[in-house]
Structure 1
Amino acid sequence: MGAAARSTLTPADVWADLQAVRARGPLVHSITNFVVMNLNANVLLALGASPVMAHAHEEVADMASIAQALVLNIGTLDAAWIESMRIAQARAHARGIPVVLDPVGAGATPYRNLALASLIDTHAPSILRGNGSEVMSVAGLAAATRGVDSAASSDDAVAAARTFAARTGAVVCVSGAIDHVVDADGRWVRLANGHPWMTRITGVGCSATAMIGAFAAVQGDAWRATASAMAVMGVAGEWAAERAQAAGGGVGRMQGELLDALHLLDEATLLARLRVLGPQAKPA
């Protein structure tokens, strides 16, 4: 489905993957939380993908049967939702479509940790995206959390991300001021786009996870798909903040500007703004 795996990410890769999402409009099945459903769906639509938010036991297997990617987000948990995730996850695994897991609030409560362990131990996700504290918790390291917010930087969690990737084979993205994307083969890319205001809008991180689902649906290299999605979100986020500030607005205006940025992002803007940092491979 995608190009052969490489240890580098180029701006041309990111643009090609964004064009593929826009051209193919993949159906992304999200079992996500109440807080972020609307923004996640609108982000996917602005990007060019097709969202479906379905969580009833009676239909999640059927929905996962027609989707090109499955996104699981544990932000607002209950037993029924966890079971829906298991059902959809089993169908997605059987079909071989990518499964992206967002471990929102990992480490905050024993119930949340048990739910995550159950999902991961049954079928490891293709891709895991979380903040520093979440990734450290999922990897089995002690990490302080503030509800669903991180008390650790993304840099602090790189070793934990590598540990989880090696154990499960999943690609891991640690998001933060610098986004890190690692895989079990030692590939590692750092992305330096974004804006602090992105942390002031509920659901931007969860929407990045949904975007990863869309990119993984059209790009067979999960590491590249994850990095491309995070690169696009970072560029769109900083552009949106600048547009909001220029209009005299704040984070409220920025939310709308973010959707516009994802919809209107062109090659010249992406190439001019994208900041991909090394190392892109595991150091010797």
Structure 2
Amino acid sequence: MKEKYSQLFSNVKEIQPLVHHMTNYVTVNDCANITIAIGASPIMADEIAEMEEFVNISQALVLNIGTINERVLKSMLVAGKIANKKNVPVILDPVGVGASQFRNQALERLLDCVQFSCIKGNVSEIRFLAGLSSKTRGVDADIRDEMTSEDLANMAKKLAEKLESVIVITGVVDTVADCENVYLIKNGHEKLSSISGTGCMSASLLGAFIGANPSERVLSSVLAITSMGIAGEIASEKTRGNGSFKVALHDEISCLDIQTFNDRERIISL
């Protein structure tokens, strides 16, 4: 498996996939820079008149509903449909779903109109997608929604089969699943939840890895999420507060190599 990881990892550096983002304005700069740090190239555009041209030259499309509005939703729907037609992988980050009716309806329209290669969310967001009761604290997971690893794995597999997407659930232990495979990722550090944008940046890494390896959606998702976890661990060892940690996180993603990845990864295949 390490040889497989090595190939998928090196493909990002060699292909330098262009990842088209329609993401929230809180973290747009973080997403652009983390995409560059891993070796890919970002474009951040949400004007509907540009969608066809930008999707045509992209290797992945990331849709993040963190600051969704009607204008951007229309652009997302257009871009998503074009991406499906062009076989460009689409990654969905359903930030804060469950917090408002507009956000919930926007997500429903996206799911109805666009086929997603990967959907990433925290446990509260994924529970909502799975039709289970969920709490919300804005864009953060609610501690009351915590589940066992076994329950998370079962939920992810069922949702993956229903939506024909790779499902990524972030948390203390991250879960990545399709309808056949489940991976638990035990890398990471609590400081990753102390700064804004780490979830959004993880979606960017998913875009980079899946964009470079579109036929390996599950393992690419595992590599993306594990890379963020490893970078968070190393950054936490070198810093004290939130500000320096955020800078160090970008540093560690940009310096991450496959040797460090293989030495530190804690991935369990169920």
TM-score interval for Structure 1 and Structure 2 normalised by the shorter chain: over 0.9
The residue number in structure 2 matching 1:62 is 53
- Which of 91, 95, 112 pairs up with 1:100? 91
Distance 1:14 1:132 in 2: 26
Distance 1:53 1:116 in 2: 20
Q: Residues 84-233 of structure 1: matches in 2 within 5 Å? A: 84-151=75-142, 152-153=145-146, 155=149, 157-184=152-179, 186-219=180-213, 220-233=215-228
Distance 2:172 2:219 in 1: 20
Q: Offset at 1:140?
A: 1.4
Distance 1:216 1:100 in 2: 9
Partner SS state of residue 146, structure 1: coil
Distance 1:158 1:75 in 2: 25
Q: Residues 14-33 of structure 1: matches in 2 within 5 Å? A: 14-33=5-24
Q: Offset at 1:16?
A: 2.3
Q: Offset at 1:105?
A: 0.5
Q: Deviations over 1:27-79 (max 9, x none)?
A: 00000000010000000001110000000111022111110000000000110
Distance 2:28 2:110 in 1: 21
Distance 2:30 2:267 in 1: 26
The residue number in structure 2 matching 1:48 is 39
The residue number in structure 1 matching 2:233 is 238
- Which of 247, 258, 273 pairs up with 2:249? 258
Contact 1:136/1:161 (<8 A) preserved: no
Contact 2:84/2:115 (<8 A) preserved: no
Distance 2:160 2:250 in 1: 31
Partner SS state of residue 134, structure 2: coil
Partner SS state of residue 189, structure 1: strand
Distance 1:139 1:23 in 2: 37
Indicate how the Cα distance of structure 1 residues 106 and 51 shifts in structure 2: closer, same or farther if over 3 A, else same: same
The residue number in structure 2 matching 1:268 is 259
Q: Which amino acid aligns with 1:37?
A: V
Q: Offset at 1:168?
A: 1.6
Structure 2 residues not aligned, in runs of 5+: none
Distance 2:91 2:182 in 1: 18
- The number of residues matched between the two structures is 265
Distance 1:158 1:270 in 2: 24
Distance 1:81 1:267 in 2: 37
Indicate how the Cα distance of structure 1 residues 169 and 191 shifts in structure 2: closer, same or farther if over 3 A, else same: same
Partner SS state of residue 29, structure 1: strand
Q: Offset at 1:139?
A: 1.6
Contact 2:157/2:182 (<8 A) preserved: no
- Which of 71, 74, 78 pairs up with 2:69? 78
Distance 1:37 1:102 in 2: 13
> Which runs of at least 4 in structure 1 moved beyond 6 Å after TM superposition?
none
Partner SS state of residue 270, structure 1: helix
Of stretches 95-104 and 121-130 in structure 1, the one that deviates more from structure 2 is: 121-130
Q: Offset at 1:266?
A: 2.3
The residue number in structure 2 matching 1:3 is none
